[in-house]
Amino acid sequence: MAQDPLHGLTLEVIVTRLAEHYGWEELGARIPVRCFNLDPSVASSLKFLRKTPWARAKVEGLYLQTAQS
């Protein structure tokens, strides 16, 4: 059975690592949501992503792509 590559990672860790890797501007260009483009912060992003499954899926997908490269 293959282990989930996101197992053990919190959404906060994922968002923080992506913001550190890409910066908010690039992150907002890759996933165009307000929480990344308008006064971005980890806290505001977490609040939005926890309520928005499609956006969370995009963030997790980008994290997996980034981790593999």
**What are the pLDDT digits (tens) for 5-23?**
888 999 999 999 999 999 9
pLDDT score of 1 more than 70:
no
Give the CA distances from residue 2 to residues 6, 7, 30, in Å, rounded to whole numbers and listed in that order. Answer: 12, 11, 28
Residue 67 has a pLDDT of 87
pTM for the model: 0.90
What pLDDT sits at residue 44? 96
Domain coordinates in residue numbering, the chain: 21-68
CA–CA gap between residue 69 and residue 60 (Å, rounded): 14
| Residue 36 · residue 8 · CB < 8 Å | no
Which tokens hold the place of 24? Answer: 């908010």
**The two three-digit tokens of residue 27, written as one number:** 């992150």
Amino acid at 42: V
**What class has domain 21-68?**
mainly alpha
Residue 69: what pLDDT? 78
